[in-house]
Amino acid sequence: MNEATPMSPRPSSASTANISRPGDTTPPGAPERPAPQAPGTPRTGAGSAGRPRQGLKARLMKPRTGGLLVLAVVVAVLPAFLQNAFHYDVAIQIGFNAIVAIGLNLLIGYCGQISLGHAGFLGVGAYFSAITVTNFGWPPLLSLVVAAVVVGLLAFVIARPILRLKGHYLAMATLGIGLIISIILNQEAQLTGGPDGMIVDPFTVFGFEFKKPWHWYSLVGGLLVIAAWLSLNIIDSPVGRALRAVHGSEVAAEVVGVDTTRYKVMIFVVSAVFASVVGSLGAHYIMFLSPQEASFFHSVELVIMVVLGGMASTFGAVVGAATLTALPQFLTFLEDYEHLIFGLILMLVMIFLPKGVVPSLAALFKRGGEK
């Protein structure tokens, strides 16, 4: 990725124009080999392909393993600080959101495509699981896998035509899909329970019921590490380089022989599947499901997590999800001013850390280190 990539989202246009209009200000990159690493994105792992084999220590310090290790340690150590069911709940919600954000970051941050309808995929996964398990008695795990396949197929079918669109048109199309899914979930009341929602059976695997907070914490924590690992590997692979080429300049990418549509569709499907799995698990965790899960606002919230944490940064997505999920819990003492302050914090972050929390802070550290 190139330094000049239009990636500085301002609050007003954060979610649409800038992200998905490749090539306007960017000179055509060199998609075949990784572009020089932008200071804002030190953990993309770019440049590792051509590197010679390294020692264990060096390997550990590679973002792919090192960063992952930090994440795993944080996940493992965190329970020591969780005092009650509420703390666990916040941590689990962060985990759920972080997994979706990691998937969405692949699409928005690396591939440069916007989706304002991801809560729709999450909703389809959630309702598929909820309905098949609660009403038809499927085993939850089977249901989760089938839901992921169904959502993957759905995303594939949708992606082929809409990923031909760019900029505002792509944003509009994904927005439309999200809204359509949301409307269907609201209207098909005999199946989905309508706007009042439906009660969902607990999550059981081979007779073991996930009931205690730490059961869920272990499951979600584990999945989060796996999701981060998957994401880092995708980015570090030839696919990842192709994606960043697409982000840099779609035309240039095509010229050098990257099948841009194929990669875009692929990553769209992957991120939809991430959302679907979280949807399925979330429905079982809360044991209640309402169409709000698939609402437009939820989609926007997910995009904010990615943008706030830092686009094109897997750990940025995690930090963004954590911030957006936990911050409101710290602000409750402000009563009526809660939302005002929350909005203000988001605005300040985007003004002073325009590349998102993680890339901006990383750049700051780097500059400090060089002095």
Partner 1 sequence: MTLKHTRRTFMAAVAALGVAAAASLPGNAQAADEPIKIGTFLSVTGPASFLGDPELKTLQMYVDKINAEGGVNGQPLELVHYDTGGDPNKAVTFVKRLIAQDEVDAIVGGSTSGESLAVMPLMERFEVPFISFAGSKKIVDPVQAWTFKTPHTDTMACEKIFEDMKKRGFTQIAMISGTGGFGQSMQAECQGVAPDYGIEILADETYGPKDTDMTAQLTSIKNTPGVQAVLNPGFGQGPAIVTKNYRQLQIDAPLYQSHGVASKKFIELAGDAAEGVRLPAAALLVAEQLSDDDPQKPVVTGYKAAYEEKHGEGSVSTFGGHAYDGLMLIVDAMKTAGSSEPQAVRDALENTKGYMGTAGEVNFSENDHLGLTPDAFRMLEIRNGDWVLVDDTTG
Q: Under the criterion CB under 8 A, does residue 189 sit at the interface with partner 1?
A: yes
Q: How far apart are CA 314 and CA 184, in angstroms?
A: 32
Q: Which is nearer to partner 1, 63 or 112 (CB)?
A: 63
Helix axes 314-330, 85-105, angle to 10 degrees: 140
Selected binder of partner 1 within 17, 30, 82, 300 (CB under 8 A): 82
Query: How many alpha carbons lie under 13 Å from residue 13 in its C-beta half-sphere?
Result: 12
Q: Under the criterion CB under 8 A, does residue 235 sit at the interface with partner 1?
A: no
Q: How near is the Cβ of 297 to partner 1 at its closest, in Å?
A: 9
Q: Under the criterion CB under 8 A, does residue 61 sit at the interface with partner 1?
A: yes
**What does 46-109 look like in DSSP terms, one character per residue?**
TT-TTPPP--HHHHHHSIIIIIHHHHHHHHHHGGGG--SHHHHHHHHHHHHHHHHHHHHHIIII
Q: Under the criterion CB under 8 A, does residue 70 sit at the interface with partner 1?
A: yes
Selected binder of partner 1 within 142, 262, 339, 348 (CB under 8 A): 339
Q: What are phi and psi of 33, to 5 degrees?
A: -115, 150
Q: What 3-state DSSP class applies to 189?
A: helix
Q: Which is nearer to partner 1, 170 or 281 (CB)?
A: 281
Piece of the chain touching partner 1 by CB under 8 A; list 7-15, 60-68, 235-243, 245-253: 60-68
Selected binder of partner 1 within 180, 199, 256, 344 (CB under 8 A): 199
Q: Under the criterion CB under 8 A, does residue 241 sit at the interface with partner 1?
A: no
DSSP letter assigned to residue 177 = H
Piece of the chain touching partner 1 by CB under 8 A; list 24-32, 79-87, 102-110, 111-119: 79-87
Task: Give the position of tokens 């996930």.
Answer: 210
Piece of the chain touching partner 1 by CB under 8 A; list 12-20, 110-118, 231-239, 287-295: 287-295
Classify residue 327 as exposed, middle or buried by CB count within 10 Å of its CB (0-12, 13-18, 19+).
middle
Q: Which is nearer to partner 1, 56 or 85 (CB)?
A: 85
Selected binder of partner 1 within 76, 157, 255, 287 (CB under 8 A): 287
In Å, what is the CA distance from 139 to each residue of 24, 90, 121, 146, 278?
50, 27, 21, 11, 17
Which distant-in-sequence residues (6+ apart) come within 8 Å of 346 by Cβ? 11, 304, 308
| Binding interface with partner 1 (CB under 8 A) | 42-43, 61, 63, 66-67, 70, 73-74, 77-78, 81-87, 89-91, 93, 186-187, 189, 194-197, 199, 282, 286-288, 290, 292-293, 315, 319, 322, 326, 328-330, 332, 335, 338-339, 358, 361-362, 365-366, 369-370
